[in-house]
Amino acid sequence: MVQLKCVGRGSGGVDEMKEFCNEAAVQWGLVCFTFGSGTFKRHKNIFVHFNGQNVGAVKRGKFNSQKSDVIDQLGSTHSDIEITSKDECTTDHFFDSLNRVFVSDSGNFSLSELKEQYMQSVVDCVGMDPLASVASLEIQIGKRPLASEMKVKGDRVLDAVREERGPFNWALYYPDPNQLKLFNAGSLSVSELKRVLPEDEVLYGLVRMGFGAGQFRRTKWVFVHWIGEKTGAVKRGKAMSVKSEMLDLLKPHNVDVQVSTPAELEIRLFIERMTKMFVVDGKNELDKEVGFGFDEFMAALAEEQRANAEFFGDCGEIDPDVEYDFKETVDAVRKTDNPINWALFVTK
């Protein structure tokens, strides 16, 4: 029996799994597709054979001969799919290839409606698992400390966020323009930021969002106004009265957003929202030479992690020793009440 090692898992569906696909390797995946809600909720488990297009013939033959053994270990599924490139690891491609499987017991729902239901289920899963959005980077480099753990002062943090590739890319401050009182700051963007948000506070912050790497990198700054849902009326009003001063204090920023729930900071949704806001007065401010989507954002974020490895005392690269428990991971994907909806494996 071959031994399987989990190289990635998460709650962001197949579009998130794409980031872990290696075109120079043969990998095996398990993905749970969820449709509907309540008594009409259904789940389809899919076995994924990622037959990397850059794998040599001898190596490919060796690993492909292990497929039946791998299937036995991952368990029964509703269907399977073979893909050879990262470009095929998308929601659209899976639905196009598996449409008969997905609509077999869908009632009166069309394929496009099922796709919408699946995408909503992914958003719900991410909301259930606040660590999922930063899981990929924490797997790669280990959990990095927040500014509060490093005892970095608020003005130094703000300077770092203002830099193109500074060690901190988000910072939150209490609503006091007379002194820059730091609430916290970190290096893993809004997916990390949303984990520390208090329900009973109003905070103002600055988030740096890069898109693309190297000479193609473009950077935008977002002014974030957080209003916790349990914030009292008096505290809320007092904080709101200094917003204009905080806007001036936390420059530069391209857009200004207000959020009141962590779900609004789910990374894919947040990027989509920001992209729309970067268009001002009918003029597209986005540079046509670089995309402003999730892939470009992750490329920029990974570049930042490498650039600041010395500051945080880590290597800034993938840690080969980080490994999820195999059985626990498979069980997590198969459990209908667990937010983990995909996992990717290689044979040891």
Give the tens place of pLDDT for each residue, 66-93.
Answer: 999 999 999 999 999 999 999 999 999 9
43 forms bridges with which residues in the sheet? 34
* Whether the predicted pLDDT of 280 surpasses 50: no
* Whether the predicted pLDDT of 142 surpasses 80: no
**Three-state secondary-structure class, residue 36:** coil
Let me know how long the chain is.
348
H helices present in 24-110, as ranges: 57-64, 67-74, 91-97, 99-103
The rounded distance, in Å, linking the Cα atoms of 187 and 312 is 10
Share of the chain above pLDDT 70, in %: 87
Confidence of residue 320 (pLDDT cuts 50, 70, 90): very low
Supply the mean pLDDT for the chain. Answer: 87
* Whether the predicted pLDDT of 129 surpasses 80: no
* Whether the predicted pLDDT of 272 surpasses 90: no
Res 41: pLDDT: 87
Res 305: pLDDT: 82
Contact in structure between 76 and 46 (CB atoms under 8 Å): no
Res 127: pLDDT: 55
- Compute the CA torsion angle 243, 244, 247, 249 (nearest 10 deg): -100
Convert the pLDDT of each residue in 9-40 to its tens digit. Answer: 888 899 889 988 999 999 999 999 999 877 77
Contact in structure between 169 and 240 (CB atoms under 8 Å): no
User: What's the whole-model pTM score?
Assistant: 0.57
The rounded distance, in Å, linking the Cα atoms of 267 and 130 is 11
Res 185: pLDDT: 98
Instruction: Count other C-beta atoms under 10 Å from residue 86's C-beta.
Output: 18
Res 126: pLDDT: 62
Res 318: pLDDT: 43
- The better pLDDT of the pair 1, 52 is held by 52
